[in-house]
Structure 1
Amino acid sequence: MTVPHALLDALVDDAGLFPPTALPMDRAVERHRADAAAGEAMHTHRFLVPASRLGELRSLLRDGEVFELGLIADQDAETLAAACAQILADPRLRLALLEVPLKAFGEDEHTALDAVSATLQDVPSEVPLYAEPVVQAHPEPLLTALAAHAGTRPLGAKLRCGGVRAELFPSVEQVAAFVCACVAAGVPFKATAGLHEAVRHTAPETGFTHHGYLNLLLATATAADGGDEAAVRAVLEIEDGGELARRADTLTGEQAVAARHALVSYGSCSTARPVSEARALLNTPVKEHE
């Protein structure tokens, strides 16, 4: 395989605190330290933490170490503002990005983004913000609101691909529409939840059909290369790992870079599985997880 490294490098955020793995904070911190020492290229080495649990994390950090954080706004504006202030004042922490579910901040995307922007006025403007739409099946209001706030800081969208209930898994039609809308608008996006394996599959323990992270990568590459929603949807529906591997092998370096300009990363509660699956499916020369 000659899969471009650009397709997989810095793809996986550490979401070990989140379901279904939901590690206790001490175990999540130790795993993140081990991953940092291993230096796996597929990892972003960003630790995703809810704003409400920042104090728990800080109590476990050592002097001299630095955790790069993706801060998740899981409560209200006051909690988010306090967490940002603590991060900026703690030399052991670096705020790499923010992820905000807008429905917690307003009834529509415009008012919610206004509220979030006011909350983040003391956060350096180079810190990117990824916003989750109020209604994921309708990303257009989010993209319009992001365009209205352009220039304040790097802005992107957030795509939720699953959860603990069946209704939290978007259809292939919804994912295809989201990806194509973001690519057409030039808005980068992150993904979260449900992307437990590389290939689309049905989990036997729940009966939930999961989107595959490789499906999503290649679907994004298709959209970035001019494919329409039908073409993107067709890639999302592939359940043959060999077919996905063959498609990945045909990507040029430029196509891989274009895909990753659109799909920035995704949060995975397992940091080992994405690496082992890439190694097995794509025969990529990634380092062993330790």
Structure 2
Amino acid sequence: MKASFKAFMREIIDYAGLFPPADLSLDTSLQKYSKYRKDSDAWMLSRYIIPASRLEELKPYHDNLFAGGEPYKFSVLGKRAETISGFYEDLQNIARSIERAHDEHGKAITTDVLELKLPREAVFANDEALLADIYAKTADLIGGREIFPTEVFFEGIFDKNWEKEIGLILEAMDRYNAGTKDESNMRAGFKLRCGGVEASMFPAVEQVAFTLNKVREQNIALKCTAGLHHPIRHYNYTVKTKMYGFFNIFGGAMLGYAHDFSDEQMQQVIKEEDAEHFSFTESGFRWKDYEISTQEITELRNVAVTSFGSCSFDEPREDLQKLGLL
């Protein structure tokens, strides 16, 4: 196994078995996650994604799954609020849910990542200062204690004015992050939704390319969700659209850092459907004539291009085995 491949795939998959299309029960998905944690491929596995409202359902697992060993790592998920006031109300509920979960399970669990959907009212206001204030108030409500998330990924909306709106969301994040002096403070990142169970839920190539370049320009950490079960972009006959590949998205994002890709160059990586154009060499990861070193991959995965949520841990591995990488 090439060192560049190991650096690329290290703890890259957040397990989202609770969500479509898998839609597993909490017990089934948590038992699967527990099995995956012991698998030889566990080095690719990261957190278990759970809605904040379901943290209390973890109580029955305290004396069995959570007993001994490494802590169970959870990424906590908020819900979409239409209004700013509804967003803050949900944040208060999330904080209480996290507190109760840690009172119950102590150091047997971690909840260091939070995923939130920005309220539509804030996104459509086109007000950078308002967005920056939301990030700051989120830090006030979800912060100050070791148990609370230090990384919060905010999801935007691809609307008719998506370019301006995504731009403001990320510029406001940069303003907020630049104002945090203490390393223990919350850092704001961006969550990119790459698909779903219907073709209409997949963003356009132009939207993805713009976002990948914009997060780089604003020095914003990125995580992805939905539609990235497979390494290479391909047509899916069930969804009836082309699904993005995690080599395309993560590889494109990291190559963008190394080569300062334009939006047009980024689009070409994202649209690539020939697996032979991607390779893991002794020196790094390559797409066609562009390469990024293993050391750069390691650094970027740690701070800039973090992980993607997948309702399957098996499908990505099966594809990687077919490509001769596992």
Q: TM-score, normalised by structure 1?
A: 0.88
Report the counterpart of residue 271 of structure 1 in structure 2. Answer: 313
Report the counterpart of residue 261 of structure 2 in structure 1. Answer: 227
Residues in 1 aligned to 2:138 and 2:305: alpha-carbon distance in whole angstroms: 23
2:184 is the alignment partner of 1:187: no
Q: Which residue identity is paired with 1:253?
A: T
Report the counterpart of residue 252 of structure 1 in structure 2. Answer: 293
Q: Tell me, yes or no, if the aligned pair for 2:22 and 2:311 is still in contact at 8 Å.
A: yes
Q: Tell me, yes or no, if the aligned pair for 1:200 and 1:212 is still in contact at 8 Å.
A: yes
Q: Which residue identity is paired with 2:155?
A: E
Q: Which residue identity is paired with 1:232?
A: M
Measure how far apart 1:205 and its partner are: 1.5
Residues in 2 aligned to 1:14 and 1:127: alpha-carbon distance in whole angstroms: 20
Q: 1:104 to 1:45 in 2, by over 3 A?
A: same
Report the counterpart of residue 280 of structure 1 in structure 2. Answer: 322
Q: Which residue identity is paired with 1:213?
A: F
Q: Which residue identity is paired with 1:279?
A: Q
Residues in 1 aligned to 2:202 and 2:2: alpha-carbon distance in whole angstroms: 32
Q: 1:83 to 1:208 in 2, by over 3 A?
A: farther
Q: Which residue identity is paired with 1:98?
A: L
2:172 is the alignment partner of 1:145: yes
Q: Which runs of 4+ in 1 moved over 6 A?
A: none
Q: Tell me, yes or no, if the aligned pair for 2:36 and 2:42 is still in contact at 8 Å.
A: no
Report the counterpart of residue 93 of structure 2 in structure 1. Answer: 79
Q: Secondary structure at the residue paired with 2:102? A: helix
Residues in 1 aligned to 2:247 and 2:42: alpha-carbon distance in whole angstroms: 16
Q: Which residue identity is paired with 2:274?
A: D
Report the counterpart of residue 240 of structure 1 in structure 2. Answer: 274
Q: 1:205 to 1:165 in 2, by over 3 A?
A: closer
Q: Secondary structure at the residue paired with 2:279? A: helix
1:43-54 alignment, distance < 5 Å: 43-54=44-55
Q: Tell me, yes or no, if the aligned pair for 1:188 and 1:264 is still in contact at 8 Å.
A: yes
Residues in 2 aligned to 1:18 and 1:40: alpha-carbon distance in whole angstroms: 22
Report the counterpart of residue 83 of structure 2 in structure 1. Answer: none
Q: Tell me, yes or no, if the aligned pair for 2:113 and 2:152 is still in contact at 8 Å.
A: yes
Report the counterpart of residue 131 of structure 1 in structure 2. Answer: 154
Q: TM-score, normalised by structure 2?
A: 0.79
Residues in 1 aligned to 2:58 and 2:120: alpha-carbon distance in whole angstroms: 23
Unaligned runs of 5+ in 2: 81-89, 126-130
Q: Which residue identity is paired with 1:54?
A: L
Larger radius of gyration: 2
The number of residues matched between the two structures is: 284
Residues in 1 aligned to 2:174 and 2:218: alpha-carbon distance in whole angstroms: 9
Report the counterpart of residue 128 of structure 2 in structure 1. Answer: none
Q: Tell me, yes or no, if the aligned pair for 1:129 and 1:153 is still in contact at 8 Å.
A: yes
Report the counterpart of residue 15 of structure 2 in structure 1. Answer: 14
Q: Which residue identity is paired with 1:237?
A: K
Report the counterpart of residue 238 of structure 2 in structure 1. Answer: 205
Q: 1:212 to 1:218 in 2, by over 3 A?
A: same
Q: 1:179 to 1:78 in 2, by over 3 A?
A: same
Q: 1:115 to 1:102 in 2, by over 3 A?
A: farther
Q: Tell me, yes or no, if the aligned pair for 1:220 and 1:259 is still in contact at 8 Å.
A: no
1:85-114 per-position Cα deviation (integer Å, ceiling 9, x unaligned)? 123322232113111111278455335334
2:142 is the alignment partner of 1:120: yes
1:150-185 per-position Cα deviation (integer Å, ceiling 9, x unaligned)? 223222111010123322211111001000001111
Measure how far apart 1:270 and its partner are: 0.4
1:197-255 per-position Cα deviation (integer Å, ceiling 9, x unaligned)? 11111211120221111111221122111121111110000111222237835542134
Measure how far apart 1:188 and its partner are: 1.1
Percent sequence identity over aligned pairs: 23
